[in-house]
Amino acid sequence: MTTLLDPTAELRSIKREKLPRPASLDGLTVGLLDISKARGSIFLDQLETHLAGQGVAVRRYRKPTFARVAPAALRQQIVQDCDAVIEALAD
């Protein structure tokens, strides 16, 4: 029997279930995260108008660059401020 050496990190990703969607946005704060892709802000502006029209509190955030993962401080800030977050990926 041949023995091989594992070329991987020997780690298994933890599969985490998504949090349940809020039944209603009443009284919640929604974060809008712009990842700095071109024109992503246009989509988020529309969303903000729509949400604000429903009386939902909205906060805006922006990654310094789409090319890198969001800085930990930004992620923590969103978690601290918001009940839900919408991230705009599209160009």
Summarize as ranges the residues that interact with other proteins (CB under 8 A).
1-11, 13, 36, 64-69
Instruction: Report, in Å, the least distance between residue 36 CB and other proteins.
Output: 8
d(CA 19, CA 33) in angstroms, rounded, equals: 18
Instruction: Report, in Å, the least distance between residue 25 CB and other proteins.
Output: 30
Instruction: Report, in Å, the least distance between residue 44 CB and other proteins.
Output: 18
Residue 35: strand, helix, or coil: coil
